[in-house]
Homo-oligomer: A and B are copies of this chain.
Amino acid sequence: MFEIDICSDLKLSGDEMIFIAGPCAVESEEQIIRTAKFLSSIGVRILRGGAYKPRTSPDNFQGLGEAGLRMLASAADQTGMAVVTEVMDTNDIGIVSKYSDILQVGSRNSQNFPLLRKLGRQKKPVLLKRGFGNTVDEFVNSSRYISREGNRNIIMVERGIRTFETSTRFTLDVSAVPVIKEKVDYPVLIDPSHAAGKRRFVQPLALAGIGSGADGLMVEVHPEPENALSDSEQQLDFQQFGQLYRMSQSMFSFMRGQSSLEVQKRME
């Protein structure tokens, strides 16, 4: 069973649900600190927030860059949370590592092999998102670009793939969870926010992910989703997130309990 050291007092081991939450993008010190305090108060231990944002169009908000990284670090300091944020280029690994506990590879860079290789030579854990055009087999191969260089602290995230269906932003491929788990021993998380694209579908997709055997969730939450500078439609507000968090935790415990029960039943 995997065991990933995030920082001195945070290990991911499969016994507890892994929960990563925070806004799509860091927008201001006030926004990220408010979010971190809320999350921390209900028990979430890892804060997400984009400082470098890969956006389809160059006209859209591209993130606050290093200023955003500093805000994230400040929010982490004030709450004791660990931080994960995206690194989009090999040249940014140094600066992102300075502020972030976990280095995220986004969906659009899932086959950026120079980036993966260089992350494989870092000490910090890597959160690898599945490319929305990639098969699970390719996704697992991408993780091997990292592990081959020595870094085996990898967190895999399924976040939806491109299909013909248009009622959600992407189609969450829950089968990826058991398929990945047959091939590598890393935690597999579900990101229901990017798959849903609409906040009312986030909870069903999150619970579906846990049902499929995921080790945790990565969810977008924002103090005022309607004013968010990116992904406004899919971010939860604090109340919605609180409900999702409680239900997910219960369901995760339920799932682990069920598994033990079944093992016992088969032995009898």
Interface residues of A (CB under 8 A from B): 54-59, 88-92, 108-109, 111-115, 117, 131-138, 141, 144-145, 148, 161-168, 171-179, 195-196, 200-201, 204-213, 243, 246-247, 250-251, 254-255, 258, 262, 265-266
B56 touches A255 (CB 8 A): no
Contact of A167 among B54, B137, B162, B265 (CB under 8 A): B137
- Give every chain B residue within 8 A of A209 (Cβ-Cβ): 208, 211
Q: Could you show 17 A-B contacts with beta carbons less than 8 Å apart? A: A55-B113, A56-B138, A57-B144, A91-B91, A108-B111, A131-B133, A132-B133, A162-B162, A163-B171, A171-B175, A174-B204, A175-B195, A175-B196, A175-B205, A178-B200, A208-B208, A211-B212
Main secondary structure, interface of A, reads: helix
A-B contact sample (6 more), CB < 8 A, given A89-B115, A178-B201, A250-B258 = A92-B114, A174-B204, A209-B211, A243-B262, A246-B262, A251-B254
B133 touches A162 (CB 8 A): yes
**A172, A201, A208 pick with most chain B CB within 10 angstroms:** A208
- Give every chain B residue within 8 A of A195 (Cβ-Cβ): 175
